[in-house]
């Protein structure tokens, strides 16, 4: 019993020491990851969880492929990979949900959810784009938008890191 308590104390003190010696505040990650009714997230940190690869089920790949197909139809292949990467990046970012379905269906985040186009089957190119994004994400973007199709002022305040086809990718 004493050795278990000692081990627990040691692990806790190591975790506290390693966090307090970094630039990360002790309260990092304590905020509610849910939207709380806000239309957009106000935090911009893209701090990643310590995972090497993301593995998705067949159903998750299908959902992500359908989102890519609906959001990036007519866009270059690289843009489709980048759209898939946004969802994967959000899954790893602390201010977003942890699963494909929670990210995709989070309120007011992706227009294909509200307009119903998410229900259409994905094409082969969108499925390939998801596989490529899983192998090697091509950006750290948490957001994307088409400046010709949105009048949303908030999204335009995000720092654009890449432009592919008609989409701007931002953090």
Any domain includes 166 = no
22-36, 47-61, 124-138 — which one is most confidently predicted on average?
A: 124-138
- Asked whether the beta carbons of 46 and 171 are under 8 A apart, the reply is yes
Asked if 104 and 64 touch (Cβ cutoff 8 Å), the reply is: yes
Flag whether 170 is in a domain: no
**24 domain-assigned:** no
Is residue 14 in some structural domain?
A: no
Domain with 106, as residue range(s), is 55-139
What would you report as the CA-atom Rg of the chain, rounded to the nearest whole angstrom?
18
The pLDDT score that the predictor gives to residue 55 is 86
Model pLDDT for residues 100-147, shown as the tens digit of each residue: 999 999 998 999 999 999 999 999 999 999 999 999 867 899 999 999
CATH of the domain at 113: 1.10.10.2520
Task: Flag whether pLDDT at 32 surpasses 80.
Answer: no
Calculate the alpha carbon distances from 30 to 19, 94, 96 in Å: 14, 9, 12
Asked if the structure places residue 61 within a domain, the reply is: yes
- 37 by DSSP, 3-state: which? coil
Q: What is the pLDDT of residues 66-87, one digit of tens each?
A: 999 999 999 999 999 999 999 9
Any domain includes 9: no
**Distance spanning both ends of the chain, measured CA to CA:** 48
How many domains would you assign to the chain? Answer: 1
Q: pTM here?
A: 0.69
Tell me whether residue 123 is in a domain. Answer: yes
């Amino acid at each position: 019993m004493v050795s278990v308590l000692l081990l627990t104390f040691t692990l806790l003190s190591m975790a506290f020491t390693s966090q307090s010696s970094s630039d990360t505040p002790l309260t990092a990650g304590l905020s509610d990851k849910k939207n709380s009714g806000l239309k957009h997230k106000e935090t911009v940190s893209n701090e990643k969880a310590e995972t090497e690869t993301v593995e998705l089920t067949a159903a998750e790949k299908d959902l992500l492929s359908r989102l890519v197909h609906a959001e990036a139809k007519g866009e270059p292949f690289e843009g489709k990979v980048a759209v898939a990467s946004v969802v994967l990046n959000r899954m790893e970012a602390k201010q977003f949900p942890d699963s494909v379905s929670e990210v995709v269906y989070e309120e007011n985040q992706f227009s294909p959810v509200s307009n119903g186009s998410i229900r259409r089957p994905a094409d082969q190119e969108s499925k390939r784009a998801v596989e490529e994004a899983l192998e090697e994400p091509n950006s750290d973007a948490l957001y994307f938008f088409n400046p010709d199709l949105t009048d949303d002022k908030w999204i335009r305040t995000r720092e654009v890191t890449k432009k592919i086809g008609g989409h701007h990718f931002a953090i």
